[in-house]
Structure 1
Amino acid sequence: MSDSAPPAPDPARFDVAIPPPPRPFDPVVEVLPAGSRLFRSFSAAPGRHVSTFNPGYGGVHRFSFFGDPPVAVLYAAQTEIAAVCESLLHDVPLAGGRLLPEQYERTVLGALETTRELRLAAFHGVGLRRLGVEPTQLTSSPAHTYRATVAWGQAVHAAGLDGAVWMSVRCNTDRAYVLFGDRVHGDDLRVVADYGRVLTTGPDRDWLVDLCAFMKVDVLTRTP
């Protein structure tokens, strides 16, 4: 018999019951002031830039897509570190792992500033308690539950709000955001011209290597 401890269970392997949004849907509303900075990690594909809303590509996400045609969304984070954790490191185990070149070389980090107040459903703190759900039932549930959690995004949209805010699962000191493209328009977000990171080579890749090393993630410079 081995004296070693059994491996810790992976919570993503267990079923999570996702309740439907309550009716009436009356969330705590968090106001994001004008001048707030948001960070995005996105693929540098032709025609895409930091303020581009996703019109429905990539299948179902936690709070999107819904509607016909789908309501476009923009996901962002409160800090550049949270933006990396919620994108490039989204599927890397907390115990550590690695990033291959094809997973980061086309990735760009950019920043936006709000030019007006945005009204967001608060899916954190007492905002979750008001709605009668736990983080594990909404904001930290595994990917296979997204077809159920998207109903919460639809409820936020139906309530007339600009989007939702919650604490990043992978960087839980910082907020994550989803904004709706038919509520938040181009002139509501200003591109921050003096910020940007292109992770292909140079100092920006070195920054990514150092950040990930701190979290026990190896950034490979060539595919093995």
Structure 2
Amino acid sequence: MRYVPPKPFEPQEYVLPAGSHLFRVFSNSRTVDKFNPGGGDPTRFAFFGDPKVPVLYAADTEEAAVCESILHDVPPGPGQILFDSFQDKVCAPLTPTRDLRLASLMGDGLRMLGTEAKHVTGTMSTQYHRTVRWAEAAHAAGFDGLVWVSNKRNTDRTYVFFGDSVLPGDLKAFKGPGRIFAAGTGFDWLVDYLAGLGIDVIITGP
């Protein structure tokens, strides 16, 4: 069973069609199509390269985007989450303006690479130093990014795009239900969704 990508790296290709609807949860200091240039803690598929390759994560649904960001480190089952942990977060839709070629880390794509989800897309964060090598291999092979089944919500696909391949204009915002989680209808939507999962929002301070 492979824990690192094979050489040569010849994955199954997944084409994300232009016009597909995606969702991203991100800081309100950015725009929905702004790539992370390499700041913050390591993630499953970032960062690599010198200089670092910018990345952008997205998901098929709002719920998956929330699970892969706000709930990423929240254990499954009933629990609590602090309002402070998401008060600067927003969710917005975006779409590719061209077909994007992605390396598949799901279904037959995993089998073709001789590995399983638990070794690549379902690991603990302590293994990110290893899983990032799969993104590096896909990047070196000329792919625009990766696609896999969300480890946090396994009914949906998630994506990472490489910012030196997916260029400005290749991803753009489209009209749809954007949500500001700090207040208003965005806050209400998130609280309702979390309540359905048995998670209470805790508001501290005055």
TM-score, normalisation: structure 1? 0.89
Deviation per CA, 1:134-161, whole angstroms, max 9, x where unpaired? 1110000000000011111000000100
Flag structure 2 segments of 5+ consecutive residues without an equivalent: none
Instruction: Map residues 61-100 of structure 1 onto 2, 5 A cutoff.
Output: 61-100=43-82
- Measured in 2, the distance between the counterparts of 1:71 and 1:202 equals 36
Q: Does residue 149 of the first structure (1) align with residue 156 of the second (2)? A: no
User: Who is 1:56 aligned against?
Assistant: 38
Q: Does residue 105 of the first structure (1) align with residue 82 of the second (2)? A: no
Deviation per CA, 1:97-152, whole angstroms, max 9, x where unpaired? 21112101111001111110000001000100000111110000000000011111
Deviation per CA, 1:167-187, whole angstroms, max 9, x where unpaired? 001110100000000000111
TM-score, normalisation: structure 2? 0.96
Displacement after TM superposition at 1:18 (Å): 6.7
The answer as to whether partners of 1:18 and 1:149 remain within 8 angstroms in 2 is: no
User: Who is 2:179 aligned against?
Assistant: 197
Q: Does residue 25 of the first structure (1) align with residue 9 of the second (2)? A: yes
Displacement after TM superposition at 1:203 (Å): 1.4
- Measured in 2, the distance between the counterparts of 1:59 and 1:156 equals 21
Give 1:94's aligned amino acid: P
Q: Does residue 43 of the first structure (1) align with residue 18 of the second (2)? A: no
Larger radius of gyration: 1
Percent of pairs with identical residues = 51
User: Who is 1:14 aligned against?
Assistant: none
In structure 2, the residue corresponding to 1:145 is in which secondary structure?
helix
- Measured in 1, the distance between the counterparts of 2:99 and 2:75 equals 36
Change (3 A) 1:133 1:99: same
Displacement after TM superposition at 1:61 (Å): 1.1
Q: How large is the RMSD of aligned CA atoms in angstroms?
A: 1.4
The answer as to whether partners of 2:2 and 2:114 remain within 8 angstroms in 1 is: no
Q: How many residues align?
A: 206
Give 2:152's aligned amino acid: R
User: Who is 1:10 aligned against?
Assistant: none
Change (3 A) 1:182 1:207: same
User: Who is 1:185 aligned against?
Assistant: 167
User: Who is 2:115 aligned against?
Assistant: 133
Flag structure 1 segments of 5+ consecutive residues without an equivalent: 1-16
User: Who is 2:98 aligned against?
Assistant: 116
In structure 2, the residue corresponding to 1:70 is in which secondary structure?
coil
The answer as to whether partners of 1:101 and 1:223 remain within 8 angstroms in 2 is: no
